């Protein structure tokens, strides 16, 4: 492994690599830890939803950004360029997970433990009167092919937004999108399988806002969230408040690496 080197400029965090090699450019430690211990903990790539072609994260993106707790403030401000090498042609998921865990524990003396806590969630359920969902029309969207992404004029991608619509989405994917903008995660309890074309109000860019790099944002209730919740009853669905359990990574000890 090549030792970490500190860096101070730019937003950073870009990850590149090839089998057996990995480079994180100018990233904060909280981002690297989150990737190693949450996103790719077991060295497994995220599974792909066959209905949409989209990768499914181990938890919602909102929860991913909340999963690291504790540690000094500099893990969210100091930036490092980290390069790692492994014996053999290890996959990127292995490099970003177990290999990076080893590097962090060696170079930064990182020690962590896991805690399970109760968290507030919403459960998406079928409302009285039954669902009013429109099955996805054949050809209404194109399943994303990650090996051969579209070029030129982009088609409607299943599970994504186009105008005021989401085409070819499963309700599990819908819950992922709602989790990004509401004040807590949304869990699919409808038991409804298949893909649907769903109409929303509001511009699509607002429905799934990007999370700033290295941020652990809060998600207060907003006019947008209220508008989205208003669309749920029109679909014959409802959001019930509930409690679930969430696993968090707690930092017990971490040190800045020696100058190099």
Q: What is the pLDDT of residues 208-240, one digit of tens each?
A: 333 333 333 343 445 556 666 677 888 899 999
Q: Which residue has the higher pLDDT, 57 or 91?
A: 91
Give yes or no for residue 156 having a pLDDT over 90: no
pTM above the 0.75 mark? no
Q: How much is the pLDDT for 217?
A: 37
What's the CA gap between 51 and 144, in Å, rounded?
9
Name 22's bridge partners: 17, 84
Beta carbons of 3 and 81 less than 8 angstroms apart: no
Which H or E element spans position 122?
A: strand 111-126
Say if residue 113's pLDDT is above 80. yes
Q: Which two tokens stand for residue 203?
A: 């511009």
Q: Give CB contacts under 8 A, 24+ apart, made by 136-143.
A: 136/167, 136/168, 136/169, 136/194, 136/195, 136/196, 136/197, 137/197, 140/167, 140/168, 140/197, 141/167, 141/168, 143/50, 143/51, 143/52, 143/53, 143/168
Q: What is the pLDDT of residue 150?
A: 57
Check residue 184 and give its pLDDT.
84
Model confidence at 75: pLDDT above 50 = yes
- The pLDDT assigned to 219 comes to 39
Judged against a pLDDT cut of 50, whether residue 168 lies above it is answered with yes
Residue 105 has pLDDT above 90, yes or no: yes
């Amino acid at each position: 492994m090549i030792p970490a080197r500190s860096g101070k400029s730019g937003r950073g965090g870009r990850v590149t690599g090839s089998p057996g090699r990995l480079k994180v450019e100018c990233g904060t430690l909280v981002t690297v830890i989150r990737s190693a211990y949450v996103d790719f903990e077991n060295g497994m790539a995220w599974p792909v939803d066959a209905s949409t072609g989209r990768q499914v994260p181990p938890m919602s993106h909102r929860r991913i950004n909340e999963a690291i707790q504790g540690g000094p403030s500099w893990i969210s401000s100091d930036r490092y360029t980290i390069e790692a090498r492994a014996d053999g042609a290890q996959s990127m998921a292995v490099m970003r997970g177990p290999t990076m865990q080893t590097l962090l524990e060696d170079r930064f003396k990182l020690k962590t433990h896991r805690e399970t806590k109760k968290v507030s969630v919403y459960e998406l359920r079928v409302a009285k009167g039954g669902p009013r969902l429109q099955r996805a029309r054949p050809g209404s969207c194109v399943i994303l092919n990650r090996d051969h992404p579209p070029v030129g004029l982009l088609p409607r991608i299943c599970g994504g937004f186009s105008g005021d619509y989401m085409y070819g989405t499963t309700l599990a994917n819908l819950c992922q999108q709602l989790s990004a903008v509401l004040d807590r995660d949304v869990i699919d309890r409808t038991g409804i399988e298949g893909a649907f074309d769903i109409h929303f109000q509001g511009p699509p860019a607002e429905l799934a806002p990007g999370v700033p790099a290295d941020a652990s944002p809060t998600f207060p209730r907003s006019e947008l969230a209220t508008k989205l919740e208003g669309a749920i009853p029109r679909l014959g669905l409802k959001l019930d408040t509930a409690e679930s359990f969430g696993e968090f990574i707690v930092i017990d000890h971490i040190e800045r690496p020696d100058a190099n």
